[in-house]
Amino acid sequence: METGTSRVKRGMAEMQKGGVIMDVMSAEQAKIAEAAGATAVMALERVPSDIRAAGGVARMADPTIVEEVMKVVSIPVMAKARIGHYVEAKVLESLGVDYIDESEVLTPADEVFHISKNEFTVPFVCGAKDLGEALRRVQEGASMLRTKGEPGTGNVVEAVRHLRLIMGQIRKVQNLSKDELYHEAKTLGVPYDLLLGVHETGRLPVVNFAAGGVATPADAALMMHLGADGVFVGSGIFKSENPEKFARAIVEATTHYEDYGLIARVSKNLGAPMKGIEISKLESSQRMQDRGI
Amino acid sequence: MKIGVLALQGAVAEHIRSIGLAGGQGVAVKRTEQLGELDGLVIPGGESTTIGKLMRQYGFIEAVRDFASQGKPLFGTCAGLIVLAERLESGEEPHLSLMNMTVARNAFGRQRESFETELDVKGIDSPLRAVFIRAPLIKEVGENVEVLSTYKGEIVAAKQDRLLVSSFHPELTDDFRLHGLFLEMARQAR
């Protein structure tokens, strides 16, 4: 009997496919998310848009919030650790969270090194904005990937950019010859073996979700259309006017992302989505996606 | 043999791959109308609360119960096993309520307790690699249910007439023998 194997950790992410993982800040919100059909919740002290507004250093959530959420829902509970913060991740693992997000939404604890995730029993999800970042995170032990997007903006454009880039790079790698692959591995800064796997299978070695700016049912469906395996919704749900309705609508639109009549129906009278931010208005210091490459 | 995989949420592609390896044709099922053309249906692993909720929303509870009453076989893995059960230990409302058993969800604990192991399964000649992920357990079965496998004394695979369930994930390995067993059930049901 073996725990924490790569098959067990990656398999857990496979079970999330086609699903919506929702940010929650309390036990009450977690129950709303579960009832709406979320496949997992991310327990946080503040959603990304509040982290943006508050400024300062964003850290791992108070363990009390994480434990309260774990107590009230039967679906998996995820929590965020700062990039490179080994101890925050160990603390979350000791609490028994089901997945750790080593996340650029929090202020990085290390400007060079990510956590060595292979030595943990708990699986990790990490953000990526291109194939190089994606495969570097897998090499460090990430069992699931997500686009970085630009969290807390309610603007899907960056998540679209990252997913399109990754899918395009995969298609390119599929068509390279062996000698070109050696060079491409060097250019991308990734291990040759992982790149060879992408070349042979035409896909990433782990599940890849969309994240960072998904705010509406149509946004979620767009990311599925572009090839995401599922969707993270951060501020989009509990910063909208009617979180319960929004959550249900995003779940339905993700499942039936090619049924446009259904997406039209669930999008009716949803109330106002979260207020968005135009990306070009962000100063470079506020761009979370540039953290941890 | 055309086998559907309920594609509302969960590990759909993996089952389609295993069905193919076992010599069948796997198709993703998103609408109840598709059931008519199938010889069998797999309810995959995923989150049972999500899958159950979406099944209710899109009329799959009645449609799949009809499908089963026509003698068509069903195969539930992990969340799919929960969805097929008549009784849930937590007292939650059952979903399809077809198989005479009581099921405990997340019976091994949280994700850090998830594991893989070698397992003997009745009807399969040598042990197979079984991957348990936040897996459920069958706590009790009715007389008409045949136990196919146990792990540390607890039931992890079973069969009732044309219903097959496992609390582990055969679709996450290259071993397609359990899918082969299901295809055989579909062949006999024809």
**A291 touching B, CB under 8 A?**
no
CA nearest to A17 within chain B: B10
Q: How high is the pLDDT of residue A276? A: 85
Q: Which of B71, B67, B21, B69 lies closest to B43 in space, CA to CA?
A: B67
Q: Would an 8 Å CB–CB cutoff place A110 in contact with chain B?
A: no
Residues of A in contact with B12 (CB under 8 A): 17-18
The single-letter DSSP state of residue A113 is P
Select from A88, A83, A33, A50 the least CA-distant residue to A231: A33
Output phi, psi for A166, to 5 deg: -60, -45
* pLDDT digit string (tens) for chain A, length 293 residues: 999 999 999 999 999 999 999 999 999 999 999 999 999 999 999 888 888 888 889 999 999 999 999 999 999 999 999 999 999 999 999 999 999 999 999 999 999 999 999 999 999 999 999 999 999 999 999 999 999 999 999 999 999 999 999 999 999 999 999 999 999 999 999 999 999 999 999 999 999 999 999 999 999 999 999 999 999 998 889 988 899 999 999 999 999 999 999 999 999 999 888 888 888 888 888 899 999 98
Sign of the Cα pseudo-torsion (B170, B174, B179, B180, in order): negative
What's the whole-number mean pLDDT along residues B49-74?
97
- Say if A37 is an interface residue toward chain B (CB within 8 Å): yes
So what's the pLDDT on residue A275?
84
Model pLDDT, residue A139:
98
Q: Which of A15, A39, A252 sits opposite B133 (nearest CB)?
A: A15
CB contact under 8 A, A7 and B131: yes
Query: What is the model's pLDDT at position A62?
Result: 96
Residues of A in contact with B133 (CB under 8 A): 8, 11-12, 15
Residues of A with Cβ-Cβ distance to B106 under 8 angstroms: 74
Mutate to test the interface with B, among A8, A208, A256 (most CBs of B within 10 A): A8
pLDDT at B117: 97
Per-residue burial over B35-44, b = 16 or more CB atoms within 10 Å of its CB, e = otherwise: beebbbbbbb
Which strand (E) or helix (H) includes residue A34? Answer: helix A27-36
Global ipTM: 0.95
Count how many residues are written for chain B: 190
For residues B57 and B145, the answer to whether their CB atoms sit within 8 Å is: no
Q: What is the pLDDT of residue B67?
A: 98
Asked whether the beta carbons of residue A12 and residue B169 sit closer than 8 angstroms, the reply is: no
Q: Is B169 a catalytic residue?
A: yes
Contacts of A8 in chain B (CB under 8 A): 114-116, 131-133
Query: Residue B29 — pLDDT band, cuts 50, 70, 90?
Result: very high
pLDDT value, residue A284: 86
Q: What is the pLDDT of residues B120-174, one digit of tens each?
A: 999 999 999 999 999 999 999 999 999 999 999 999 999 999 999 999 999 999 9
Residue in B closest to A1 by C-alpha: B117
B62 in active site: no
How far apart CA B86 and CA B94 sit, in angstroms, is: 6
CA torsion A21-A22-A23-A25 (nearest 10°) is -130
Task: Report the pLDDT value the prediction gives residue A73, as an integer from 0 to 100.
Answer: 97
Q: Does residue A75 sit at the B interface (CB-CB below 8 Å)?
A: yes
Q: Model's pTM, two decimal places?
A: 0.96
- Test A8 with B14 for CB contact under 8 angstroms: no
Which among A1, A12, A123 has the least Cβ separation from residue B117?
Answer: A1
Q: Look-up: residue for tokens 């107590």? A: A71
